[in-house]
Structure 1
Amino acid sequence: MLKIINRHSSFRPALLISISSYTEILQTMDRHATSRPRTRQPRAPDSPDVKLSKSLSYILRHGPVKEKLPIQADGYMNVADLLHHPRLKGITFTDVRRVVDSNTKNRFKLEHRGADGQATVNIDEATGWWIRANQGHSFEVPDLELEPIINPESCPVVIHGTYTDVWNKAIKTQGLRKMKRNHIHLAAGLPGESGVISGIRTSSDVYIYVDMKKAIADGIEFYKSENGVILTEGKDGVLPPQYFWKVVNSTGDSLL
């Protein structure tokens, strides 16, 4: 037996309870403590370069149609014109180049296209420089320089990363959809593996392995972008579940 002394009053007698009862009290207190709603930590504000990267992604992937911006058939936009966009007020070519060069997912590509075809010496000058997003467009880009994947053995592992709730709610029965983009995005491996820099979110907890041999044999076309992302339109914008040969969660459990 344990003696619990009431320290608020010296006139009240000590309370005697059993060890088992005392344990139950502690367990109840623990349950109440852990069941309290936790306050979500506020997300840290984006750095200036992250903000610029997001602005470039929007303008180059979606802006030309929504805001009637001039862009070439291969997805390139003149940097001097780009810097006039209200989202990029105060941004210089040096800022754009730094974000392009430091982007770990290689989302963008810069190319010099001066009148004489020669590379510029002054990298701080935007004139003659063009930029594009390597993939992720929501409008037609006919000359994006995508590499067709003809031989499935050239891409033995192709994965789409998603989340448990999305898998259970839709993908499991309906397949992968390109949504508002031109393609479904896939990766040639898991996040962090050699050569995998884009095409799959590191926060994914479900990994869908695509049966490339079966899909290509059925006429589904696949492409590889400049930064190694595997792209497909599927069939009418959908890659059906029949082309999933393996689906696992982050702990390796099979979901098929």
Structure 2
Amino acid sequence: MDRDRRGRGGRGRRGNRGGEDRDVRLSKSMSYVLRHGANQMGLHMGTDGFMFVEELLAHPQFSSYSLTDVERVVANNDKKRFKLCPHPEDGRLQIRASQGHTVQVQDLELKPVLAGSSDCPAEAVHGTYLRYWSSIQQQGLSRMKRTHIHLAPGLPEEDGVISGMRRDCEIAVYIDVPKALADGIQFFWSENGVLLTTGNAEGKLPPKYFSQALRLRPTRSILPLQ
């Protein structure tokens, strides 16, 4: 059997490190490298966020994985976190993260949202947790170390919503997108349907753009905005 089809080391999808699925470990490792840690790991990532798959797999951290593993993780990722495509000049396979970067990426193929356009949502949702609500309530949402604040077009269980917030989030903060656009805050659609914004000059979406906040669990209820 072709060694590449077996996966390096011949191991199945489930490893023995805490019982975590190998594909989950690979997805997490690729997310870290492609969003944050390429330079620290000695890997080259282009200004467009792409990295050659062969160079990724040559790194010791990925030595137990194969091209087949990478292709499977990319294809099966329900949030479409990665883009895999041939390099336009030499055809070598390259990969990048769709969003979530803390490093600057010049061209993520983001589509600007224009006020009044058909793809401008009336609201977008940011998922968060109870422990952060008091700070968010007072200071707004912050992109923190990332290049963008991530928003979803709706809650995860709604039709067509595949990414933008974690399914275990305890609070959904709804953003009035047209109001923020009118104040000059820019929004962009990523290729996998996440609404991204750099926020204001301080990298924030202030509370004045919140239209509502919804506690999702253990029971659904509306939270006061002030």
Q: TM-score, normalization: structure 1? A: 0.75
Aligned to 2:207: 241
Aligned to 1:120: none
Q: What is the Cα-based RMSD across aligned positions, in Å?
A: 1.5
1:65-104 mapped onto 2 (5 Å cutoff):
65-104=39-78
Give 1:167's match in structure 2, choosing from 116, 133, 140: 133
Give 2:123's match in structure 1, choosing from 157, 165, 170: 157
Extract unaligned runs of 5+ from structure 2. 1-17
Aligned to 2:156: 191
Aligned to 1:220: 185
Distance (Å, rounded) in 1 between the aligned partners of 2:100 and 2:170? 22
Moved more, 199-208 or 108-117: 108-117
Distance (Å, rounded) in 2 between the aligned partners of 1:95 and 1:173? 44
Extract unaligned runs of 5+ from structure 1. 1-43, 118-127
Q: Which digits, 9 at most, give the CA deviation of each residue in 1:209-251, with x for residues without a partner? A: 1011110000000111110111111112111111101112121
Q: Tell me how far 1:66 sits from its aligned partner.
A: 2.4
Between the two structures, name the one with larger relative contact order (CA 8 Å, sep ≥ 6): 2
Q: Tell me how far 1:115 sits from its aligned partner.
A: 4.4
TM superposition outliers: structure 1 runs of 4+ over 4 Å:
114-117
Letter of the 1:254 counterpart? L
Q: Which has the larger radius of gyration?
A: 1
Aligned to 2:107: 143
Identity of aligned residues (%): 49
Letter of the 1:60 counterpart? L
Aligned to 1:231: 196
Q: Tell me how far 1:252 sits from its aligned partner.
A: 2.8
Distance (Å, rounded) in 2 between the aligned partners of 1:199 and 1:114? 29
| Change in CA separation of 1:237 and 1:152 when aligned onto 2, cut-off 3 Å | farther
